[in-house]
Structure 1
């Protein structure tokens, strides 16, 4: 048996043994590198908003939010959770038929920004912007995420992130939704310090 054939057989055996496709286990947010990737990706995107933000808080990992995200992801409902499943927190979902990195999933949410103009809102009726506005919601600074493998679904990979405090937590105010952060000089109104365009608590 050639080395390549042996590798392919081993890969097939491993997939049958674990019941999960290759690459899925590496996405687990039990792994510090995945938690770091999620936090770093969010902060990188929050730093690059246009117009720049005066009050954008720096994201940090939150174990409680991650645990709630994991509980919901494992249900494989492929729908948003009730408020009771994420007290005081917002939620972004991403579903895929193939394994994607956390950075790819988060970028997809952020890319909805092409449908959004700061201070105005959606560029056209029905435009999907909710994932973007949650990613750049200035007051959300705690995040926890998880991913589940849902083999019975068409979209088998189910990514869930919880953001605290939530985008909608203080009421679904239309004007507030148009301005997920205060525009102006970076860190212009930070409560404490500034860390490379982001406010720290």
Structure 2
């Protein structure tokens, strides 16, 4: 799933840019990290799943390690490129620093407005695959990571899902 740059996403990004402040550093989620980091990703994703009667996702450290490995690969360029790994994947980029995990999840979940369940498709010119991955019926586990990119290129976040979703021709729930 690629990150969208529709008018809606552009204005959302512009608003976030106006509201955020600069900080520095990398957030490296590990088993020793406070549960609050995981919850910043889990709570809004599980709320989206609950709204369509799907079981909550559980935080998985194997997926966290994979997500952190891939986020580290993007640290030098902050490119919105998928890892093409074995898991489902959502990626996010925000200009500057200070982005919170819930803001990335919010951007993904907002794609719900573009998803038509009855036609199992996104509205013309819009993206909804981040949303459908979050609510995918058979997905059970998630692990996420975030990195502040070098040279002021922004913040990159990724979540990986197992089993993956978004199979062509299948509805998410």
What is the alpha-carbon distance in structure 1 between the residues aligned to residue 151 and residue 68 of structure 2? 18
In the alignment, which of 43, 56, 70 is matched to residue 58 of structure 1?
Answer: 56
Task: Give me the whole-angstrom Cα distance separating, in 1, the residues matched to 2:57 and 2:68.
Answer: 19
Shift in CA distance, 97/120, structure 1 to aligned 2, threshold 3 Å: same
Aligned residue-pair number: 144
Equivalent residues in 2 for 1:32-181 (5 A)?
Answer: 32-49=35-52, 53=53, 56-76=54-74, 77-83=79-85, 87=86, 89-98=87-96, 99-152=98-151, 154=153, 156-168=154-166, 172-174=167-169, 176=170, 179-181=171-173
TM-score with structure 2 setting the length: 0.75
Whose radius of gyration is greater, 1 or 2? Answer: 1
Contact 2:122 2:128 (C-alpha < 8 Å) held by counterparts: no
Ranges of 4+ aligned residues in structure 1 off by more than 6 Å = none
CA distance in 2, matches of 1:46, 1:123: 18
- Contact kept, 8 Å, 1:142 with 1:165, in 2: the verdict is yes
Q: 1:123 to 1:69 in 2, by over 3 A?
A: closer
Gaps (5+ residues) in structure 2? Answer: 1-21
Structure 1 residues 41 and 23: alpha-carbon distance in aligned structure 2, compared to 1, 3 A threshold: farther
- Take 1:173 and 1:123, find their aligned partners in 2: how far apart are those partners? 13
Q: Tell me, which stretches of 5 or more residues in structure 1 are unaligned?
A: 1-20, 182-201
Across the aligned residues of Structure 1 and Structure 2, the Cα RMSD in angstroms comes to 1.9
